[in-house]
Structure 1
Amino acid sequence: MKEFVDPFIGVDNWGSCLCGPYLPLSLVRPGPDTAIPHPPNGYQSGQPIIRFSHTHVSGTGGEGRYGNIGILPFITDVHTAQKGYIAQQEQAGSGYYHVMLEPAHIKAELTATSHVGVHRYTFPDGAEAQILLDAGSVIQTSREDSAHSISGHIEWISTTEIVGRADLQGGWGHQFPYSIYFYAHFDQEALQRTAYSQDDSTQNLFAVGPNCQALASFGLAHEVNLSVGISYVSIAKARANVEQEVGQKSFSQIHAEAVEIWEHELSRICVSGGTVEQKTLFYTLFTRLLCMPGDLGVDDENPSWHSGVRQFTDFYCVWDSVRNANALITLFHPDLEIAFLNALLDIAEHTGWLPDAWIAGHSAKIQGGSSADILFCEAALKGLQGIDYQKALHYMRKNNEVQSPDPLFYGRYLQDYSTLGYVSTDVPLSSVSKHLEYTYQDWCIGTLAMYLKQYETAQEYHTYSQRVWNLWRDDLHTFAPKNHDGSWVEPFDPTHKHIFQWLDPYFYEGNSWQWSFNVQQDFAGLIERHGGTEAFIQHLDTFFELGYYASKEIMLHTPYLYIYAGRPDKTAERVYTLLQQHFHATRDGLSDNEDMGCQSAWYMCSSMGLYPVMGQDLYLLTPPAFKRIKIALGNEGSHLIIEAPEAGERQRYIVGATLNGLPLQRAWLRHHEIVHGGVLHFTLADQPGSWGEQEIPPLPQIFARYSSTAPQTT
């Protein structure tokens, strides 16, 4: 699969992905950083390269974060080099990055292990080979609260080794400080070496303070190799990472091992047929799906506590990955999804609350509610074992029942939601979209309670979930903001979108039209309120034809809603068009932030013809882009085979299907039907038929609908 991995896809503009090398869920993600201000990934094509740093987030928006422990090769004046090099002959592949730095004629190559960035610099003949190590380097966007160095230290401990710590602060999500320890080892002795800091320009072999830096000169050395171990725990751990993961291996050996690791991971899903671009997008986006969070191991790299639980850093953010990425991981790597959920529970045990985002050892900004609630519900419905669901339910209920001391970072804004039955405009930002998310999370709480046979709790929370309609305006056919006194906000335009989409008082990163399809607990109620299936189909058509769809997290499921109205052919048409419009094998090939796998999973699932409904055990079906797909279902040896012999540009409709040889007349499946393996066979055609129109997906269970004893909604 390595021939189909192009790390430059989606690096620019909204995509903000990484072109530098990394391993699946690795702690270290080295790569080039371009001139300040950087995008959140630190890199923009065509801008001068100012260094190579070791920590990055991939595919995010917001303020800059990380870009720590920078390396800059140079041959003359360091101050000139810090202004940046012109990038020529850039190349990248699985676990590898290469660039010529002009006009210095320095060849830079990067590869990586899980905790070590490995560098190889080739200098021009007759030039003095020099390297700057910047312990205070950070990615700084033009947004407020970008990262910065607050302290640290650096020290030469031999002619080939530098150690230190960087203390840093800032970036999207929170302003809590964090520390990174490092150990750098050169493959040859430095002939000259110095260290200094922002506070003290005196040149010594050590320095203390913000923005500590070290300089090394290697004379006329033609090639210099460097391994930089990173740790969140200690210098000793950073050094051990280099010794254990690199040791005496050459750059080429490390690169070859990285390629092998990726080949193993990508082989979990094998596709055949399709175009070269489709395969390149599929496997490149597969590597994005496995980029974050970073794996801290079991009591290994977690600086905050030891608990015997495998931990991760940079769930950045669950609000994004919950849409589809976690479901896809559950299908092909359920043990990993179990580890994610146990890590979230472990965080709750140590902080008191389930995080919605967990960045650099702290809960970070909540964009809606607690998306972890959705994941635990989905995991139970899909039968994932090894999770303490009773404990999960306790923390999920806490989100609804206990007022958070700081709902910006955990829990909910409960005052009005609990007493009025809706989130009023007294909540200054995203009041309506928070309401929508709270109510679906209440459905998930109720469903998990039902799974655990706690029927009174299930009934109570399923009733809470019907509060969703308390902010529905029949006259607008959308959700709308309501004041504390029960009056609607007037005037109100459901198509208006705030210029700073994250600062809208009513809807986060979207408008009312875009958010009003987020009623996952009651799509039937949504269709009914639009006047039935035909009116709902017309509304969906208008939504797409007027250009309101964007490749945003909150809208990714909308083309699949035609299936709930008995029109899987329209889903097929929309999905085909959106795959063509929003995904290209180019540097600007993503039309929105990749966001912790949600864009990648949308492409992968849609091109496989199997799209998940978040929080539930359903998959919605659409024509695959590939003729054959083989998905390894975990590590037990079973596989799901998806066959579509007619797959191609013209065959856009499913006209027949079988599952394990038996006729399948519906455009949906439950997880238990495929989790143990099987063959899903599609017959495709260039014109739609009536396949899948009669049997719509099963509707989520709502106690308030069938129980005369159910408590009434507010």
Structure 2
Amino acid sequence: MRPQGSPYRKAVMAAPIRFRGVPRRSRFLVYAVFCIILITLLPRFHLHLGGTLLFFLISPEAAGPYKGGHSADILKYVDPLIGTANGGHVFPGASLPYGMAKAVADTNSRAENAAGFVSDDAPITGFSHMHDSGTGGQPSLGNFPLFVHPGCPDDEFSKCKFTVMDRPLQRVPDTPFAAPGYFTLNLTNSLKAEMTVTEHTALYRFSFPGNETLNIVDDEDHSKVTQVPYSPLILIDLIDLMNSRSAGGIQVYPESGRVIGDGSYAPSFGSGKYSAFFCADFKGAKIRKTGTFVNTNATEGLNHLDKQGSGFYNPTGSAGAWLHFERPASNAITVRVGVSFISVDKACANAENEIPDWNFERVESQARKAWSEKLSAIEVDPYGVSGDMLTTFWSGLYRTMLSPQNYTGENQLWNSTEPYFDSFYCIWDSFRAQHPLLTIIDPVAQTDMVRALIDIYRHEGKLPDCRMSFCKGFTQGGSNADIVIADAFVKNLTAGIDWDTAYEAVISDAEEEPSMWGTSGRGNLESWHHLGYIPWDDTDRNGTGPASRSISRGVEYAYDDFCISLLASGLSRPAPEVSKYRQRGANWANYWNPTQKDLFRSAPDGPVSSTKFLGFMQPRTVNGTFRYQNTRSCSPIHNMHSCYYDTGLETYEGSPWLYSFFVPQDMQSLIKLMGGPAEFVERLTYFHTSGISYMGNEQGFLPVYQFHYASRPGLSSYFAHSYFPSLFNSTVNGIPGNDDCAMGAFSAFAMMGFFPVAGQDVYLLSAPFFREVKLRAKMPGKWAVIKVKNFDPEWKRLYIQSAKLNGKRYTKSWITHEFFLKGGVLELVVGEKESDEWGAREEDLPPSYPVPEGERVAPDEEYRSKLVSGHVP
């Protein structure tokens, strides 16, 4: 059941010709019958007109020439429920772009509810006001959930269920509905819940049937029905989704009904703790009784709980406050919950300043407007594109703006005039696609994020790689904030960025090993500097961190250093300094074992076989010899889940096959090591077709486009198209892994027809999924326009044959950020067969930056001997 009064219900029904909700087969039959009647009754119409009318009826957004322009109706193609099942961990609730308040119904879906809600059949545990989106691992935030009982058995408050273990109820099937700034569902206890948000405040509307008594169906035994008097009880629990609370308190004011509280909690993927505060007000019904509860024990009149007072309680599990109401006059109770990371007073001020009028429709409308304005940075011609694919595209763009979250003004750690963003989670994921996309479509927000990263360095001494809830997250690979900063520099994000401090920060990553590099910075730096690689058996112990992942960390350190060299050059640093980091950027080659075979068994007990491919990244020991790691380990076809945070293996969440392609700074040299362009193309094709590739992790994105470096950009376009709609689509399972706000960035880039090489001023071109794409340029009034002159709605013509940039022949397979800064028109001609001309000449290839072998970091043999002997410097 959809929300009848919501503007989103009106948007969904705005195009009745599409018969939303009617099965596709039935829709097709209706379309066909209607068109046959139309053509029969109007024989004087030319066949061409009849065909046009038929196409319009099937896909009205595809009829007629594209006029450009952006409509708020585009929001009907945003479905926040995409990715809320099968490990996507997408937050589908009400949010503003980068908003701190994120309201949704939470489920108790084990190992799936990292973002609160999951599209499964798990029961609802409450409605909470802050979440993260797309993360893996343990659930995050979900502090201070509300739960609503329409009534209690025998009208006794103590007979209602209070704990997170006892209170969960099933949702009514097909009632969850989400749209930008809005979420709703019904529970089996007759409750209808709706929610919307401002920046720091959630607004809920809980509606009831209004009967004298209500029938509560037992979730386990549907034949068991309990009648309860209609008299709502609403509780607020101090728990969070991870049940990590270590302190806190709550107070309810019986005269006004205001409830305030706080707690201390743990981050979901890091170390430390954070504090959170809330302030809840209620409107729509008179209060009968108030009290508090600890676990299953609810007490009337005891309106205060804390660790020091008479309400002392165990600070774990469920504990909180409750309010028992009379029957609401309008059969609805509105709840306004302000949140803060500073204080209760700040939480109350947030609520009072942001929603003084309690107007649900106004708040929802403003949320829609905010999302429409953000998405208006892009326009696409919908000609020939199905509603499902439009939904895939626009929903992907939407997800890129859910996190990081703008906590400016809510920084509980230090006072600063700089912006503060949090929930970066792992930049290891987001640097590859999300941040480059925001650089184009929302450069103001991306600039503020870069400034926030630099300010974190000022106050904590290191750039974060992973960060959430004011806490340091665990580093997964290199110090990849270095790449985000270099990317911002080469793409001319300048407003307010202190580049001197930025450079100081990345040099700190490259040169200074922290005492605990498991949560920031890099480890094994002495060996990295002296040997040019991280030995598998390194005895360098200047810092502490997981002694694993030497391959994946090593190739990432190399690319981090290369990006530092670009920044150093751009900032006119001394030539030796630039050269040092450029040379370290070539350290990836120290992991290349030219004799390593690709060994595997087709069956667990079968014989060992091998492919023709020779040479892979492998771990090395202190004395320089190579150590073996199965080339396919940590891939979907061999021990997929064996390479997480610290498993003792030498690659992280990916195989040596995958990491052997991660040399974006010097693909020219890598291709030579792999045997030349033809052999490289054969190897990369095998990677994508053998089951080794996994698109559910962000490292899999760039290899889709690396055919460009071997003069075969058409194959990049082919494989980009191959993942739609098989892996990226408009279902709740519509992304292949947890989102990290990056899966949507990949799908948006792929569908627009270009993909970034993060850290470099390079975008690799492929055939767009649209006839025309327009992106608002940084220069006022200008647009960057990509047109496909002979667009094929069936995507059989997916190979670029030729191109013109601003009317002039353009043969390169890549463009620079200048296109998005100044605007212009890129015209493409596509065909059904791969071109052997466009993008194929050496001068048309994306840039590579080889370092001659004689200029690379040479192993310091004196240092090596000390490591071997155990006399570590």
2:290 to 173, 193, 197: 193
2:643 to 479, 501, 524: 501
1:306 to 377, 402, 415: 415
1:659 paired with 2:767, answer: no
Q: Which residue of 2 aligns with 1:555?
A: 700
1:61 paired with 2:160, answer: no
Q: Which residue of 2 aligns with 1:92?
A: 178
Cα distance in 2 for partners of 1:33, 1:463 equals 50
**Contact 2:531–2:857 (Cα < 8 Å) also in 1:** no
- Greater mean deviation of Cα atoms: 565-574 or 187-196: 187-196
Q: Which residue of 2 aligns with 1:119?
A: 204
Q: Deviations over 1:506-545 (max 9, x none)?
A: 0010110011111111111110100100010010111112
Cα distance in 2 for partners of 1:131, 1:174 equals 36
Cα distance in 2 for partners of 1:36, 1:197 equals 24
Once the two structures are TM-superposed, the CA of residue 698 in structure 1 deviates from its matched residue by 3.9
Q: Which residue of 1 aligns with 2:758?
A: 614
Q: Deviations over 1:655-682 (max 9, x none)?
A: 1211111111121011124421111111
- Identical counterparts, % of pairs: 28
Q: Which residue of 2 aligns with 1:30?
A: 103
Cα distance in 2 for partners of 1:163, 1:217 equals 13
Cα distance in 1 for partners of 2:367, 2:468 equals 26
- Alpha carbons of structure 1 residues 318 and 711: separation in structure 2 relative to 1, 3 Å: closer
Once the two structures are TM-superposed, the CA of residue 12 in structure 1 deviates from its matched residue by 0.7
**Contact 1:268–1:632 (Cα < 8 Å) also in 2:** yes
Q: How does 1:467-486 map to 2 (within 5 A)?
A: 467-476=587-596, 477-486=615-624
Q: Which amino acid aligns with 2:336?
A: S
Cα distance in 2 for partners of 1:111, 1:159 equals 26
1:687 paired with 2:833, answer: yes
Cα distance in 2 for partners of 1:641, 1:441 equals 32
Once the two structures are TM-superposed, the CA of residue 385 in structure 1 deviates from its matched residue by 1.3
Q: Which residue of 1 aligns with 2:116?
A: 42
Q: Which amino acid aligns with 2:274?
A: Y
Q: Which residue of 1 aligns with 2:774?
A: 630
Q: How does 1:299-338 map to 2 (within 5 A)?
A: 300-338=409-447
1:285 paired with 2:359, answer: no
Cα distance in 1 for partners of 2:171, 2:849 equals 59
1:128 paired with 2:248, answer: no
Cα distance in 2 for partners of 1:38, 1:460 equals 45
Q: Which residue of 2 aligns with 1:575?
A: 720
Q: SS at 1:98's partner residue?
A: strand
Q: Which amino acid aligns with 1:78?
A: C
2:559 to 424, 433, 440: 440
Determine which structure has greater relative contact order: mean sequence separation of CA pairs < 8 Å that are 6+ residues apart, divided by chain length: 1
Once the two structures are TM-superposed, the CA of residue 200 in structure 1 deviates from its matched residue by 8.2
Q: SS at 1:30's partner residue?
A: strand
- Alpha carbons of structure 1 residues 14 and 36: separation in structure 2 relative to 1, 3 Å: closer
1:208 paired with 2:310, answer: no
Cα distance in 2 for partners of 1:685, 1:36 equals 47
Cα distance in 2 for partners of 1:182, 1:330 equals 33
Q: Which residue of 2 aligns with 1:2?
A: 75
Q: Deviations over 1:339-398 (max 9, x none)?
A: 111110000000011111221112211101111111111122122213222221211111
**Contact 1:594–1:600 (Cα < 8 Å) also in 2:** yes
1:154 paired with 2:250, answer: yes
**Contact 2:633–2:655 (Cα < 8 Å) also in 1:** yes
Q: Which amino acid aligns with 1:560?
A: Y
Q: Which residue of 2 aligns with 1:678?
A: 824
Q: SS at 1:82's partner residue?
A: coil
2:549 to 408, 430, 436: 430
1:463 to 573, 580, 583: 583
Q: How many pairs does the alignment contain?
A: 701
2:512 to 402, 413, 422: 402
**Contact 1:64–1:139 (Cα < 8 Å) also in 2:** yes
Q: Which amino acid aligns with 1:615?
A: G
Q: Which residue of 2 aligns with 1:697?
A: 845
Q: Deviations over 1:159-198 (max 9, x none)?
A: 3443433323334322312111111011143221112345
Once the two structures are TM-superposed, the CA of residue 587 in structure 1 deviates from its matched residue by 0.8
Once the two structures are TM-superposed, the CA of residue 253 in structure 1 deviates from its matched residue by 1.6
Cα distance in 1 for partners of 2:855, 2:77 equals 58
Unaligned runs of 5+ in 1: 141-146
Q: Which residue of 1 aligns with 2:71?
A: none
1:250 to 359, 380, 388: 359
Q: Which amino acid aligns with 1:680?
A: L
**Contact 2:267–2:468 (Cα < 8 Å) also in 1:** no
Once the two structures are TM-superposed, the CA of residue 43 in structure 1 deviates from its matched residue by 2.4
Cα distance in 2 for partners of 1:438, 1:217 equals 58
- Alpha carbons of structure 1 residues 212 and 615: separation in structure 2 relative to 1, 3 Å: same
**Which is higher, the Rg of structure 1 or of structure 2?**
2
- Greater mean deviation of Cα atoms: 497-506 or 437-446: 497-506
Q: Which residue of 2 aligns with 1:488?
A: 626
Q: Which amino acid aligns with 1:28?
A: A
Q: Deviations over 1:47-87 (max 9, x none)?
A: 11111111111111012221111011112243287132233
Q: Which residue of 2 aligns with 1:144?
A: none
Q: SS at 2:176's partner residue?
A: strand
Cα distance in 1 for partners of 2:89, 2:172 equals 18
Q: SS at 2:353's partner residue?
A: helix
Q: SS at 1:149's partner residue?
A: coil
> C-alpha root-mean-square deviation of aligned residues, in Å?
2.0
Q: Deviations over 1:269-326 (max 9, x none)?
A: 11122221111111111121000011122xx111111111011111112111100111
Cα distance in 2 for partners of 1:431, 1:464 equals 16
Q: Deviations over 1:582-606 (max 9, x none)?
A: 11111111111111x2211110011
Once the two structures are TM-superposed, the CA of residue 573 in structure 1 deviates from its matched residue by 0.8
Once the two structures are TM-superposed, the CA of residue 158 in structure 1 deviates from its matched residue by 4.6
1:14 paired with 2:87, answer: yes
**Contact 1:69–1:134 (Cα < 8 Å) also in 2:** yes
Q: Which residue of 2 aligns with 1:109?
A: 194
1:380 paired with 2:478, answer: no
**Contact 1:163–1:235 (Cα < 8 Å) also in 2:** no
- Alpha carbons of structure 1 residues 338 and 515: separation in structure 2 relative to 1, 3 Å: same
Cα distance in 1 for partners of 2:744, 2:488 equals 21
Cα distance in 2 for partners of 1:131, 1:482 equals 63
1:339 paired with 2:484, answer: no
- Alpha carbons of structure 1 residues 567 and 309: separation in structure 2 relative to 1, 3 Å: same
Q: Which residue of 1 aligns with 2:22?
A: none
Once the two structures are TM-superposed, the CA of residue 559 in structure 1 deviates from its matched residue by 1.4
- Greater mean deviation of Cα atoms: 209-218 or 429-438: 209-218
